[in-house]
Amino acid sequence: MKVLIILSSLRIKILLFFAMALIGLFGVQYGAARLFVIEQSEALEQEKALANLDRIDRLVSEQIQKLESTVSDWAEWDDTWRFMKKRDSKYVSSNYVSNTFTRLKLDLIVVLDQQGQPAINKGFDRQQQQEWRVSPQILERLTAAESPLRPLPLEQGQSHGRSGLLSVADGLFLMATNLVLTSESKGPARGVMAMGQRLDEPFLAQLSNIIRLPLNSYPANHPDMLALSSDLWHQLAQQGRAVQLDRSGTTSSGYILLRDLNKLPAVILKTTMDRHIARQGEQNLQYMLWSSAGIILALLLFSVMLDRWVLNPVSRLSSEVTVIGAQADGSLRVQQLSSDDELARLADGINTMLNHLEHADQQKRMIQGAFGQYLSPKVVDILLKDPNKLSLGGEQRVMTALFSDLAGFSTISEKLSPAELVQLLNEYLTAMCDIITRYDGTVDKFEGDAIMAFWGAPVDQPDHAQLACLAAIDMQQYMTEMRLRLRSERRPALHVRIGLNSGPMVVGNMGSKQRMNYTVMGDAVNLAARLEGANKFYGSHTILSHNTWRMVQEAVDVRELDTIRVVGKNDPVTIYQLLARKGEVSESMTTTVSLYQQGLACYRARNFRTALNWFDQLLIVDDSDGPARAYRERCLEFMRHPPAEDWDGVYQLTAKG
């Protein structure tokens, strides 16, 4: 009993420690999250506030640009230019009326002659709809020699006006000036026209309506503005804008400093923005706090029930797994738990794992049984280690494909009973597949007596072309021995034709999810099939392409046959007859090849009669040489009907073979 009490007390200590660790972890997590949320929300608010200030600044600049365009249109107008000479009062009474000020949103228009005297001097209060006299201070600022509003001299290609903010006792104006010129912007200039718009409450209300934010203006020396912090004033002085976040409140303030024409601080525009981003962050933190508190409570409750709901089931699971492991019996399963918790799912998971292991074992046996007969052991081992390679899909690789077919097998099959035919075909296919797999090749498919195989996948084989050629040599050697045996048994002799080509091919599992085939496809594969059929035209047994020959020229001996165009292709292909491993060609074949090369050289030089003599000499040495017979017939044909002058020596196959 004392032991149980001690264990219980120790368990409580562990649970309390676990609870304290959870609370501490929660506190650290909450503090870090709160700091992150505050920093992010302030950064977002700062970014949004600066964007709003940029909008306000752009709106003011756009208004000044509109003012520049308006004063340019009126100043560079033939009527205005003529007025400055004739001083026709009708021009003034017709154009400078209240409707003009209202329509153009102007508060003053001043036209000065060349001596700086006002020819037109009108101000109009658009709110009160009444004129007001332009103050002498405005006229002095316009006529002063050092005034930034004084237009530039008339020069080709330069602007004829100035613009900016003018701060006077009457208030702050957006001002623009332009030389009085003809409608074609030509002089001489007869004066200066100035137009102004008050930067007042209606103007700010218009901007506020556009940006949908409150907007107020204050003189730069206003007490409220002077009370701003030095950091804010530094930002205003350097950047012309600043943002003040009220961390204890619900709004933030943005400021834009507008300078007058002398670059001195004139007015500060202030806008107030709601801090909804910060409030949303606080709400998110509260949600996280309550969620975390609920999780801690649930974990504490779970810890209290740990002894009853966990320890005993874990002990039982441990015993059952130990028994299964000791007996090494994949058919055994652990007993399912009646509860619906993690341990019950663990038991189900163990049973699922055992099911997968049993299924994997069955799958391995299936792969060994299904693929072991026509894939090399190396390929089968890869599939056993990674059955996912049996999934649908493909990849492009440089590989070598082999096609083989029995010559005249249709005629042979007609002379045999079905049982004899099956026996002969199985004997032949078994021997060929054994040779292919011995050289780590993959048997793709059988089509009657035809075999399709490839090298270079799924295992990377840098020497895939050499392995394929060596397999083809052994296949022909076996067929030589098999023919002797078949003749002794009074059965039909078999001759196999083989085509080899190397190049880029798409390899992988093709088909449907219910039925798939690990195969290759592509133009390089089709060419290998065409070369198998090309043996018929040359009386040869094994033909390989130039691509394959380049990869195996140090390993095998060949005889160049021809340069051909196969059916369905325009590009010529140089083909070779595969003879034997390097250095194993017989003396008689060496003589045959030497005579053949003499004839081939004369043939390509269009000297068909001399070529015919060489091929006839070859046939005296070996009357069974198929390529010599083929070229002899071709020479006779060209002697009767010579080829065209632009003949390139390429022979066009007229059938697939």
301: CB partners within 8 A, 6+ apart: none
Q: What's residue 364's pLDDT?
A: 62
Per-residue pLDDT band at 378 (split at 50, 70, 90) = low
Q: Per-residue pLDDT averaged across 296-306, rounded?
A: 65
Share of the chain above pLDDT 70, in %: 75
Contact (Cβ atoms closer than 8 angstroms) between residue 236 and residue 57:
no
Per-residue pLDDT band at 43 (split at 50, 70, 90) = confident
Distant-in-sequence contacts of 97-104, Cβ < 8 A, 24+ apart: 98/124, 98/129, 98/131, 101/126, 102/126, 104/70, 104/195
Residue 305 has pLDDT above 80, yes or no: no
pLDDT: is 369 or 264 the higher one?
264
* Per-residue pLDDT tens digits for 363-374: 566 555 545 555
**257-292 CB burial, b ≥16 within 10 A, e <16:** bbebbeeebbbbbbbebebebbeebeeebeebeeeb
Residue 8 has pLDDT above 80, yes or no: no
Nearest to 148 by CA among 45, 261, 16, 256: 261
Lowest-confidence pick of 57-61, 76-80, 473-477, 639-643: 57-61
Q: What's residue 597's pLDDT?
A: 96
- The pLDDT mean for the chain works out to 82
Per-residue pLDDT band at 362 (split at 50, 70, 90) = low
* Per-residue pLDDT tens digits for 157-185: 456 777 878 878 777 888 888 889 998 88
Q: What's residue 365's pLDDT?
A: 62
Nearest to 8 by CA among 276, 325, 287, 311: 311
Contact (Cβ atoms closer than 8 angstroms) between residue 279 and residue 288:
no
Q: What's residue 527's pLDDT?
A: 96
Q: Per-residue pLDDT averaged across 208-218, rounded?
A: 80
With H, G, I as helix, E, B as strand and everything else as coil, classify residue 397.
Answer: strand
Q: What's residue 422's pLDDT?
A: 92
Residue 627 has pLDDT above 80, yes or no: yes
Phi, psi of 542 (to 5 degrees): -140, 125
Per-residue pLDDT band at 328 (split at 50, 70, 90) = low
Q: What's residue 7's pLDDT?
A: 44
Check the CA dihedral 10-15-19-21 and report its sign.
Answer: positive
Q: What's residue 387's pLDDT?
A: 66
Q: What is the pTM of this model?
A: 0.49
26: CB partners within 8 A, 6+ apart: 292, 293, 296
Lowest-confidence pick of 123-137, 247-261, 642-656: 247-261
Domain range 30-288, CATH architecture: 2-Layer Sandwich (3.30)
CA-based radius of gyration for the chain:
49
Q: What's residue 390's pLDDT?
A: 56
Q: Per-residue pLDDT averaged across 344-354, rounded?
A: 71
pLDDT: is 520 or 48 the higher one?
520
pLDDT: is 2 or 465 the higher one?
465
Residue 32 has pLDDT above 90, yes or no: no
Per-residue pLDDT band at 114 (split at 50, 70, 90) = confident
pLDDT: is 358 or 161 the higher one?
161
Q: What's residue 264's pLDDT?
A: 77
- Cα distances (Å, whole numbers) of residue 355 to 320, 389, 390: 16, 21, 20
Q: What's residue 2's pLDDT?
A: 47
CATH of 390-585, one of 1.20.1050.10, 3.30.70.1230, 3.40.50.720, 3.30.470.20: 3.30.70.1230
Distance CA 157, CA 174 (A): 25
Per-residue pLDDT band at 554 (split at 50, 70, 90) = very high
Domain boundaries, the chain: 30-288, 313-370, 390-585
Q: What's residue 379's pLDDT?
A: 66
Residue 9 has pLDDT above 60, yes or no: no
End-to-end CA distance of the chain, in Å? 95
* Per-residue pLDDT tens digits for 410-426: 888 888 999 999 999 99
Q: What's residue 150's pLDDT?
A: 59
